[in-house]
Structure 1
Amino acid sequence: MNSAIIAGICWHLVGAASAACFYAPFKQVKRWSWETMWSVGGITSWLILPWAVSAVLLPNFWAYYASFSLSQLLPVFLFGAMWGIGNINYGLTMRYLGMSMGIGIAIGVTLVVGTLMTPLLQGRFMELFASTGGRMTLLGVFVAVIGVAIVSRAGLLKERALGINAEEFNLKKGLVLAVMCGFFSAGMSFAMDAAKPMHNAAAQLGIDPLYVALPSYVVIMGGGAIVNLGYCFIRLATKSSLSVKADFSVAKPLLIANVLFATLGGLMWYLQFFFYAWGHAKIPPQYDFVSWMLHMSLYVLCGGLVGLLLKEWKSAGRRPVGVLSLGCVVIIIAANIVGLGLAA
C-alpha cells in the first residue's frame, strides 16, 4: 500500500471524525428550537464556508462558475438537493427506529448505494471482478457493511441495557424512512461524480489537487441548503410552537453563546467534507467510488470511539462494549482491505 493511498484513508478518517463529533457543539445550544439552531449551523456549513473557501482558491470566482453550462451544473445541484433530503430523513429515522437501528439501516443503505451505484451506472461494475484490485475493493465494501451492522447491533444492545427507546417507535414507517434516508444521502457521492468537470477545471487553473473538489461544494451544498433551510423556515413560519423572534430574544450572553456553538457545529459539519475532498484526491481515479464507503464506515467507527471516550457506554455492561469493539475492528479491517485493493 503506497503512501498516497494511506494518506487518502487517513484524510477520510479525519473527515469522519469531524462528522462524528459535529453535533457536540449543538448540544450546548440552550432555549433555541432545533430549526433555528440547524439553520444557523447550516448557513455556516452550506453557504458561508463553501463560498469563502472557493473565493480564496479561485483566481476569478464568477468566471469559474460562468464557464459551465446549465446542463453541467444542474445534476450537481440536484444531487446536492438529494443529499439534503437525506439529511432531513435522518432525523425522522432516529425518531421512529431509535439511534442504533436507524443508523445501522440508513448508513448501511447509503454505504452500498453511494459506493456501488456509480460504477454500476457507468457500466464499470463488472470490470471490477476482472482484476485483483477490483475484487479486493468489493470485498472491503462487503466487510464494511458487516462492520456497520455489528456496531449497530452493539448500539441496540446498549439501548436495551440502558432502557432507551425510540421517541415514537414505528417499525414500518421507520424502515421506509431509513431506506429513503440511505438512498437520498448517497446523493453526495453522486454529486461528487457529476462534479468531475468542475474538479478538472479547477485543476487546470493550477489549484492544488487536494483542493480541486472544494469549489464544487458551492453548487452541491447549495442544493442541500435549499432543501434543509427551506424545511426549517417553513416549520418556523407555520408551527405556532416555534418562533425565531423568541429564539433570538434570549439574554445577550446566551444568544452569543448559542450563535457561537451553532456556528462551531456548522464548521465541523463542513470540515468532514473538506477532508473528504482531500481523501478523495488521493484515491486512484478508477476506484474513486470507494471514497463514500471509506467516509461512511469510518464515520460509524469514529462515532463508536467517541461514545466510548465520552463514557456513554459506561453503564451498558461488558457485552455491548465487546460487540462494539468487534465492529470497530471489522471496519478497520475493511479499510485495510480496500487500501490493499487500491494498491493492487
Structure 2
Amino acid sequence: MGIGIFWVLMAAVMLGFYALPSKYVKNYAIENTWGAFWILAMFVVPVISAFALVDGLIETYSQVSSSLFLLILGLSILWGIGNLLWGISISKIGMALGFSLLIGVGTLSGSLLPFFMGSADKIGTPGGIVILGGIFIIMIGIIANGKAGLLREKFENSEADQTNIDPNKMRNGIILCVIGGICAAGFNLSYHVADNLGHIGQISQEQFGNQPWIARIAVMLPSFIGSGIATVIYFSNQLSKNNSWSNFKVADSSKNLVLLLVMAIVYCASLIIYGLGAYDLGPLGTSVGFAIFQTGCIMVANLLGFFTGEWNKAGAQSKNWLFAGLTIMTIGIIVVAYGNAIV
C-alpha cells in the first residue's frame, strides 16, 4: 500500500509540473498550444508507447467485449469534455473558484462512483466507512482551499472590479464548472472499467508477461483516444474559427512542438504512474488512489503558486485559509490510506 501511495503522489507532483514548458512557447495562440498538446498527449505519445512497449496489445483487446470498449470510450469522451468545460468556465468565474470546484466535484464523483462499479459490498465495512470519512475530510480541505483563492482574488482586485461582476456570467460559469467536474471524473471511471471490469491489465500481465507499469499503458490507451477525440475536435474548430493554423509555420514552431512534446510525455507518464499506484492499492485503488491523486494535484499546484510568488500580494486571511486547507487535505489523505489498509 505504501508503494501505491508513493506512485500516486509522484503522479500528482508530475501532473502539477507538466504545464511548465508552456510558459516558453512563443507566437502560438491558445488553440495552437493546447490543440497541438492534446494531439501529442492523447494520440501520438500513448499510441507509439503502447505499440512499442506492450506485448500482445491487439490480442489483449480482442478478449474484451465491444460493449465494455464502448463504455470506456464514452467515459473517456466525457473526460475530454470535462477538461474543455473547465477551460471555458474559468474565463467566467476565475481560476481560484474554477480550479477548486472542478477538483472538488471531480474528486467526489471520481472517488465514490467506483464503489458502485464492482465494490459496493466494501462501503459498509469498517475500512470503507473510514475511506468515505477521509474523502469527506478532503472535501472540507478543498472547500477551504477555494475560500483561500476567493479571498486572494478579492484582496487583489479593486472595488470597481468587484462591482462589475456579472451574476449571470458567474452562475453560468459555476454550472459549467460543476458539469465539467462530473465529466472529468470520466478519466478515473474509464480506467476503472478497463482494469477492474475488462481486466485488460490482468490479461496483459498474465497472458503476455508484461510488467505492471507496461500493462497500465494497455489499460489507459482507449481512454486517451476517447478523450483525444473530444479535445481535438474542439481545438480544430477553434483553429479554423480564428484562422490560427498558419501559426504552426512561425519560426519558433519547431521549438514549440518540442516543448509541447515534453509536456505530453510528462502528462501521459503521470497518468500511467497513477494507474500503477491504483493497481498497487488493491481492489479499491481507483477510489482511494483517485482521492489521493486529485488532492495531491491541488496541493502541488498551490504550493508551486506560493513559492513562485503568486500569493505574495494576498492578504494574511487568504494565506491562513490556504494553509488550513492544505493541512486538512493532508489529514484526509492519511485517513483514506488508513481505511484502505484495514478494508
Give your verdict on TM over 0.5.
yes
CA contact (8 A) 1:111 1:293 kept: yes
1:177-216 deviation line (CA, Å, top 9, x unaligned): 0111111001011101110221221122222233322212
Counterpart of 1:242 in structure 2 is 243
Query: Matches of 2:82 and 2:67 in 1, distance apart?
Result: 23
CA contact (8 A) 1:50 1:215 kept: no
Alignment partner of 1:220 out of 216, 219, 223: 223
173-182 vs 38-47, greater mean Cα deviation: 38-47
Counterpart of 1:267 in structure 2 is 265
Query: Matches of 1:102 and 1:30 in 2, distance apart?
Result: 26
Counterpart AA for 1:249: K
Deviation at 1:148, TM superposition (A): 0.9
* Secondary structure in 2 matching 1:141: helix
Query: Matches of 1:134 and 1:72 in 2, distance apart?
Result: 26
CA contact (8 A) 1:85 1:184 kept: yes
Counterpart of 2:187 in structure 1 is 188
Counterpart AA for 1:215: A
75-84 vs 319-328, greater mean Cα deviation: 319-328
CA contact (8 A) 1:80 1:187 kept: yes
Query: Matches of 1:42 and 1:137 in 2, distance apart?
Result: 33
Counterpart AA for 2:123: L
Give the alignment's Cα RMSD to 1 decimal. Answer: 2.0
CA contact (8 A) 1:95 1:168 kept: no
288-297 vs 156-165, greater mean Cα deviation: 156-165
* Secondary structure in 2 matching 1:212: helix
* Secondary structure in 2 matching 1:289: helix
CA contact (8 A) 1:211 1:277 kept: no
Counterpart of 1:330 in structure 2 is 328
Alignment partner of 1:162 out of 150, 156, 166: 156
* Secondary structure in 2 matching 1:313: coil
CA contact (8 A) 1:41 1:264 kept: no
Query: Matches of 2:288 and 2:214 in 1, distance apart?
Result: 19
Alignment partner of 1:100 out of 80, 96, 99: 96
Deviation at 1:75, TM superposition (A): 1.1
Deviation at 1:172, TM superposition (A): 1.6
Counterpart AA for 2:148: A
Counterpart AA for 1:298: G
Query: Matches of 1:81 and 1:220 in 2, distance apart?
Result: 8
Cα 1:332–1:198, aligned 2, differ >3 Å: closer, same or farther?
Answer: same
Counterpart of 1:310 in structure 2 is 308
Task: Determine if the alignment matches structure 1 residue 59 to structure 2 residue 60.
Answer: no
Alignment partner of 2:123 out of 122, 128, 131: 128
Task: Determine if the alignment matches structure 1 residue 7 to structure 2 residue 10.
Answer: no
Counting aligned pairs with the same residue, the percent is: 24
1:103-134 deviation line (CA, Å, top 9, x unaligned): 12221111111111121354716x423x2211
* Secondary structure in 1 matching 2:312: coil
Query: Matches of 1:233 and 1:191 in 2, distance apart?
Result: 24
CA contact (8 A) 1:33 1:242 kept: no
Task: Determine if the alignment matches structure 1 residue 290 to structure 2 residue 288.
Answer: yes
Query: Matches of 2:139 and 2:277 in 1, distance apart?
Result: 20
Cα 1:168–1:85, aligned 2, differ >3 Å: closer, same or farther?
Answer: farther
Counterpart AA for 2:271: F
Query: Matches of 2:239 and 2:298 in 1, distance apart?
Result: 32
Deviation at 1:294, TM superposition (A): 1.3
Query: Matches of 1:124 and 1:293 in 2, distance apart?
Result: 17
CA contact (8 A) 2:57 2:218 kept: no
Unpaired stretches in structure 1, ≥5 consecutive residues: none
Query: Matches of 1:256 and 1:287 in 2, distance apart?
Result: 40
